[in-house]
C-alpha cells in the first residue's frame, strides 16, 4: 500500500467546463425479472407518499417502517461535477458530491489558496465559493493530526477537524466530524466551497505517513447509524444542465422535472426508470483492486465488477446492432460521480474507438480520443446481471466537447491500464444508481428517455 494511490478519486477538474455531454436514452428492455419486485419492495420509491410507506406491511425489511427518502437536488455544473447544499450549523455551503472519497470539508474564511502560474483565473480563491465563517459549534477536535488530502487531479486541501451538525435535504448528521480547510490548491469555478464524500469510513483511515489513523464516520454513515435513514443512497444525474430554478432545498418531488439531478438519502430519486431493467451487483472490498496492495476485504469505495462489456455496431444499416465485442472478463470498476468520463481497459476502449465510423483518433491538443462529430456511433453497454446499460450516443460522442477545429468531438469513454477503472458521469447519466451499503450491493436501472 502506498500513499499516492489513495489520493481520493475525485476527478472533477480533469475535464474543463466546456466538456458537456448531451444525449437521449435509448435503452433495451430486458425481460421482466423477479429482481424487479424485490428491489421495489426493499426500497420504497419516492413517488409514493411517505405516509403510505409507514403503513405498508413490513415483511422482510425494516425499511418499510422507516421514513422514505429525502431527495436533495443536485446541481449540474456543466456536467463536469454535481453540487449540493450542505447546511453546516446555520450556514449553507454548496459542495461538490463525490462517491470516490469519504471526507466532508469546506474552506473556512479566511483561507490561503496556493496558485500556480498556469492557473491565473483562480489566483485568489482557487475558484472556491465563499467558505464557512466563524467557529464550529462543536469546536475543533483536539489532539488529531491535521486534515490533509490530495486528489488524483493534483489538487490538495489541508486544515483541521471539528464538529458541527450537517444537514442535507432535511436529514441531519448531528455533531458530525468534518474538516475546515485553510490551505489548498484547487480549481473550482466559484460555485462550490468544499466536498461531500459519500464513500465508506475506511478511506478516512488512510491518512498520515502510515495511512492508519482510526477511521471516523462520514456524513452519510452518521445519518444511517442514527436511524434517520436506511443505509442506502441513490443518485440520478441529468446530463442536461438545470434550467434556472435550482434551489437545492431538498424533497420536492411534486415539481421534479426530468432534467433534474438528485441525491436521495435512504431511498430512490424521483425520476422515471425502466422498471424491467433493475439489476444488482456486489460491492467489493479494497483488495478487489490488486494494484492498490490492500489486504483487506473492508469496503472503502464503490467497487463493482460488471458481468460484461458489450459493443455493437451503430448506424441504421442492415448490420446495425451486430455484436462486435462481448467481453465477460470481470474487471473491478469504481462507480464515481466525481469522474466526468469513464475509464476502462485499453484493449476494450480501443475496440470502441475502432467501432466509430469513421474511427476515432487521438488528438494530442485535446489529450484524448475524438471522433468526427458526425461519425456513426457504436452502441456500448455495461452489463450487470441480466441488464445491459447502454451509454447513449450523445454521452459516447459528446457534441459539446470539441477540438479547436470544431469537427472532432470527444469520446465519453477513455482508456487506462492503470487502475482504477471508473464508471463516471458519462455512464451514470444513463441510470439510477443505488448505493446500498446495508446490503453491500449496488443496483442500477435504466433511465427513461429524458
Ligand X SMILES: *[C@@H]1O[C@H](CO)[C@@H](O)[C@H](O)[C@H]1NC(C)=O
Q: Considering the complex, what minimum distance in angstroms separates the CB of residue 191 from ligand X? A: 14
Q: Report the site for ligand X in 159-178 (rule: CB under 6 A).
A: 160
- 345 belongs to the binding site for ligand X (CB under 6 A): yes
Classify residue 390 by its DSSP letter.
Answer: E
- For ligand X, the binding residue among 49, 134, 154, 293 (CB under 6 A) is 134
Of 258, 301, 231, the C-alpha closest to 76 is: 258
d(Cα 427, Cα 392) in Å, to the nearest integer? 9
Site size for ligand X (CB under 6 A): 26
Q: List the beta bridge partners of residue 391.
A: 380
**Which CB, 47 or 160, lies closer to ligand X?**
160
* Half-sphere exposure (Cβ direction) of 383: Cα atoms closer than 13 Å: 18
- 329 belongs to the binding site for ligand X (CB under 6 A): yes
- 109 belongs to the binding site for ligand X (CB under 6 A): no
**Which CB, 16 or 326, lies closer to ligand X?**
326
Helix, strand and coil percent figures for the chain, each rounded to 5: 15, 35, 50
Span interacting with ligand X, options 31-39, 66-74, 147-155, 216-224, rule CB under 6 A: 31-39
Strand 308-312 relative to strand 261-265: parallel, antiparallel, unpaired? Answer: unpaired
Q: What DSSP element (H or E) covers 232?
A: strand 232-236
Strand 431-436 relative to strand 421-423: parallel, antiparallel, unpaired? Answer: unpaired
Q: What DSSP element (H or E) covers 168?
A: strand 156-168
The strands making up 379-384's β-sheet, listed across from edge to edge, are 323-327, 308-312, 379-384, 387-391
- In total, the chain counts a number of residues equal to 450
Catalytic one of 98, 395, 415, 436: 98
Q: Considering the complex, what minimum distance in angstroms separates the CB of residue 280 from ligand X? A: 7
Q: Report the site for ligand X in 235-254 (rule: CB under 6 A).
A: 245, 247
- 137 belongs to the binding site for ligand X (CB under 6 A): yes
Hey, which bits of 35-146 come out as E strands?
70-77, 81-88, 91-98, 105-113
41 given a catalytic annotation: no
Residue 38, CA distances (Å) to 60, 280, 385, 443, 447 in order: 10, 11, 14, 11, 19
Q: Considering the complex, what minimum distance in angstroms separates the CB of residue 38 from ligand X? A: 9
252 given a catalytic annotation: no
Of 304, 279, 385, the C-alpha closest to 36 is: 279
- 138 belongs to the binding site for ligand X (CB under 6 A): no
| 9 Cβ contact partners less than 8 Å away, ≥ 6 residues apart | 98, 100, 101, 151, 152, 301, 334, 336, 338, 339, 420, 422
- 92 belongs to the binding site for ligand X (CB under 6 A): no
Catalytic one of 336, 395, 415, 436: 336
- 312 belongs to the binding site for ligand X (CB under 6 A): no
Residue 371-410 contact track with ligand X, rule CB under 6 A, x = bound:
-x-x----------xx--------------------x---
Span interacting with ligand X, options 130-138, 167-175, 206-214, 423-431, rule CB under 6 A: 130-138
- 87 belongs to the binding site for ligand X (CB under 6 A): no
- 438 belongs to the binding site for ligand X (CB under 6 A): no
Q: What DSSP element (H or E) covers 172?
A: strand 171-185
Q: Report the site for ligand X in 407-436 (rule: CB under 6 A).
A: 407
- For ligand X, the binding residue among 141, 331, 354, 363 (CB under 6 A) is 331
- For ligand X, the binding residue among 123, 347, 365, 449 (CB under 6 A) is 347
Q: Which residues bind ligand X (CB under 6 A)?
A: 31, 33, 35, 89-90, 112, 134-135, 137, 160, 182-183, 245, 247, 316, 327, 329, 331, 345, 347-348, 372, 374, 385-386, 407
- Catalytic residue numbers read 98, 336
Amino acid at each position: 500500500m502506498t500513499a499516492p494511490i489513495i489520493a481520493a478519486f475525485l476527478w472533477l477538474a480533469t475535464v474543463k467546463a466546456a466538456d458537456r455531454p448531451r444525449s437521449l436514452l435509448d435503452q433495451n428492455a430486458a425481460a421482466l425479472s423477479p429482481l424487479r419486485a424485490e428491489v421495489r419492495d426493499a426500497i420504497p420509491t419516492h413517488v409514493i407518499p411517505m405516509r403510505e410507506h409507514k403503513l405498508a406491511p413490513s415483511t422482510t425489511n425494516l425499511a418499510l417502517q422507516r421514513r422514505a427518502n429525502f431527495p436533495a437536488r443536485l446541481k449540474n455544473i456543466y456536467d463536469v461535477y454535481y453540487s449540493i447544499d450542505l447546511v453546516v450549523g446555520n450556514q449553507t455551503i454548496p459542495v461538490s458530491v463525490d462517491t470516490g472519497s469519504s471526507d466532508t470539508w469546506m474552506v473556512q474564511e479566511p483561507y490561503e489558496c496556493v496558485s500556480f502560474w498556469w492557473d491565473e483565473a483562480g489566483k485568489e480563491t482557487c475558484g472556491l465559493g465563499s467558505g464557512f465563517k466563524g467557529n464550529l459549534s462543536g469546536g475543533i477536535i483536539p489532539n488529531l493530526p491535521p486534515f490533509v488530502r490530495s486528489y488524483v487531479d493534483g489538487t490538495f486541501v489541508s486544515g483541521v477537524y471539528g464538529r458541527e451538525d450537517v444537514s442535507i435535504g432535511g436529514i441531519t448528521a448531528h455533531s458530525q466530524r468534518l474538516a475546515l480547510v485553510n490551505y489548498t490548491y484547487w480549481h473550482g469555478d466559484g460555485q462550490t466551497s468544499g466536498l461531500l464524500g459519500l464513500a465508506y469510513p475506511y478511506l478516512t483511515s488512510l491518512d498520515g505517513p502510515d495511512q492508519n489513523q482510526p477511521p471516523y464516520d462520514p456524513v452519510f454513515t452518521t445519518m444511517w447509524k442514527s436511524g434517520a435513514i436506511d443505509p442506502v443512497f441513490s443518485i440520478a444525474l441529468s446530463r442536461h444542465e438545470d434550467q434556472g430554478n435550482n434551489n437545492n432545498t431538498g424533497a420536492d418531488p411534486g415539481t421534479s422535472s426530468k432534467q433534474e439531478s438528485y441525491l436521495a438519502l435512504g431511498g430512490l430519486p424521483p425520476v422515471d426508470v425502466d422498471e424491467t431493467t433493475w439489476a444488482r451487483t456486489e460491492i467489493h472490498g479494497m483488495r478487489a483492486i490488486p494494484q492498490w496492495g490492500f489486504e483487506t476485504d473492508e469496503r472503502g469505495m464503490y467497487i463493482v465488477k460488471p458481468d460484461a462489456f458489450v459493443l455493437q455496431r451503430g448506424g441504421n444499416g442492415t448490420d446495425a446492432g451486430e455484436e462486435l465485442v462481448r467481453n465477460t472478463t470481470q474487471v473491478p470498476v469504481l462507480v464515481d460521480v466525481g469522474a466526468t468520463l469513464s475509464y476502462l481497459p485499453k484493449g476494450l476502449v480501443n475496440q470502441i474507438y475502432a467501432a466509430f465510423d469513421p474511427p476515432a483518433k487521438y488528438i494530442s491538443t485535446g489529450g484524448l480520443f475524438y471522433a468526427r462529430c458526425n461519425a456513426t456511433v457504436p452502441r456500448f453497454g455495461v452489463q450487470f446481471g441480466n441488464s445491459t446499460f447502454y451509454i447513449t450516443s450523445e454521452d459516447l460522442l459528446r457534441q459539446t466537447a470539441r477540438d479547436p477545429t470544431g469537427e472532432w468531438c470527444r469520446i465519453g469513454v477513455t482508456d487506462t491500464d492503470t487502475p482504477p477503472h471508473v464508471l463516471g458521469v458519462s455512464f451514470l447519466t444513463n441510470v439510477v444508481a443505488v448505493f446500498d451499503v446495508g446490503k453491500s450491493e449496488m443496483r442500477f436501472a435504466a433511465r427513461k428517455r429524458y
